[in-house]
Structure 1
Amino acid sequence: MDISNRTVLIIGGTSGIGLGLARRFAAAGSTVIVAGRDTGKVDDLETVRIDVTDPGSVARARDEVLGAHPELDVVVTMAGVLLQEDLRDPDHFATAETTIAVNLLGTIRAIDAFTPHLIGRGGADLITVSSGIAFLPFPLMPTYGASKAGVHAYTEALRPQLAGTGVTVTELVPPAVATAGQEKVNPAALPLDSYLDEVIDLLTRNPTPKEIIVKAAERLRWAERDGTYESLLEARSRSLATLPGSGR
């Protein structure tokens, strides 16, 4: 994938991996717009406010972006929340609803908003963002894993549906990266810059892999294939001891 001289919208790009990726595209010579609920955190890139759980907000953001940038040819959908849940407590359901609304339905809504434009371009890139947790659950965040597994499955269906339209569909599969407090939950979380170095190396290969999987994510993505799934899941389940009153 060429990341220079592109016009890129990163939905969920106002912090963390999204903002880091936005700055890498910009440094490569692309025009970058970042979208999110809290655009006040970004002062070095063009921004647009979007709430992916609100159809009206998504439509307004689409119209604003395409009005200013009709040449838009890359859309990255990575708005998401990362929330812990105690499944023994029925009140967790509100957290589950929020997670699905943002991570899965929000991704679908954003894709739907921009797909007609991207198809009309005749040559464009759409990048979705799942997670290593989509392939090897982290029991402390059960609905997060389910939502990201949904993003993966949706992406796998989207790719053949858009085949022949000129829109290339790529899935980013991050491991734990040291943003948004991940380093506190997982001391092995990758430094953001190290992660982005690997991502850009993979993303700019020709042909671009359909899944962008850095080294640290490979053990998660291929755990079932490699016969390590059960042992890794057991190890990851130890995090449940941090839940209040777990007695684990």
Structure 2
Amino acid sequence: MKTTNNTIFVTGGTSGLGLGLALRWHDLGNKVIIGGRRKELLDRIATEHAGIDTVLLDVDDPESVEAAFDEVTAKYPELNAVLTMAGIMQPENLLDPGHLATAEATITTNLLGTIRVLTRFAPYLAGRQDGVILTVSSGLAFVPLAITPTYNATKAAIHSYTQSLRIQLAGTPVQVIELIPPAVQTTLMNQQDNDNAMPVEDYLSETMSILAEQPDVTEVTVQRVGFLRDAERENRLAQTVAAVNSH
């Protein structure tokens, strides 16, 4: 992936890692369009960061995805990159039948939302010589955190879906990149003050360095997530699962 002269659409980019990456790309001279559900946040971002454009987008709603696709591609026909960052993470008690609502919402946003966005944008990007699709899984796709079972499952599904997408797009110019974050100090699961989570700016800096130094990268794995990503292939999965779930 080139680091400059892109036109990038970031879904779920109003906060956290999505906003952080959007601002980093913006600072490098890329044209950035942020999609999100909350108009007040979109308006604030556009006011505070001149040159960033915003689009209302709710990935849970197929009509909203369709409308966002039409708006973005009409205004920016040069669009060449999409980052599917929208996601939610909630704890679940699997012995409580009420957890089903959380599970369904998590699947709808994290998995179906990603699939809906890529269903519309992937064919468009396939016509771009410098097309890029960036998906977002998690270290928990490889080692589950027991209190967030459906979140883990959706991220494992995103990992597998991304692999299939990369194979199917092998005959096109599109590069498919999977971001695999560790726990990061964002508001996701109220981790902003978690000393065991990676500082946001550290994650953003290491990720941008990887993208710059490895333009053909397929998985962006910062050093801290290797403990999870490599657990199974290093034959220490059971121990790692136990360690992750010991708190």
| Structure 2 residues without counterparts, runs of 5 or longer | none
What does residue 195 of structure 1 align with? 203
Taking the aligned partners of 2:246 and 2:38, their CA distance within structure 1 comes to 34
Range moving further from structure 2, 112-121 or 70-79: 112-121
What does residue 58 of structure 1 align with? 65
Taking the aligned partners of 1:17 and 1:206, their CA distance within structure 2 comes to 20
The count of aligned residue pairs is: 238
State the percentage of identical aligned residues.
47
CA contact (8 A) 1:35 1:50 kept: yes
Q: 1:232 aligns with which of 195, 216, 240?
A: 240
Q: Which amino acid aligns with 1:149?
A: A
What does residue 19 of structure 1 align with? 19
Taking the aligned partners of 1:217 and 1:112, their CA distance within structure 2 comes to 29
CA contact (8 A) 1:7 1:71 kept: yes
Q: Which amino acid aligns with 1:134?
A: A
- Judged with a 3 Å threshold, the aligned counterparts in structure 2 of structure 1 residues 115 and 29 are, in CA distance, closer, same or farther, namely same
What displacement does 1:206 show?
3.9
What does residue 31 of structure 2 align with? 31
What displacement does 1:141 show?
0.5
CA contact (8 A) 1:202 1:208 kept: no
Taking the aligned partners of 2:195 and 2:147, their CA distance within structure 1 comes to 15
SS of the residue 2:146 aligns to: coil
Cα RMSD for the two superposed structures: 1.2
- 2:167 is equivalent to residue 154 of structure 1: no
Please report the TM-score for the alignment, with normalisation by the length of structure 1.
0.93
Please report the TM-score for the alignment, with normalisation by the length of structure 2.
0.93
Moved over 6 A (4+): none
Taking the aligned partners of 1:114 and 1:225, their CA distance within structure 2 comes to 33
CA contact (8 A) 1:14 1:39 kept: no
SS of the residue 1:19 aligns to: helix
SS of the residue 2:127 aligns to: helix
SS of the residue 1:47 aligns to: strand
Give matches, 1:158-197, under 5 Å.
158-180=165-187, 181-184=190-193, 186-197=194-205
CA contact (8 A) 1:135 1:220 kept: yes
- 2:159 is equivalent to residue 144 of structure 1: no
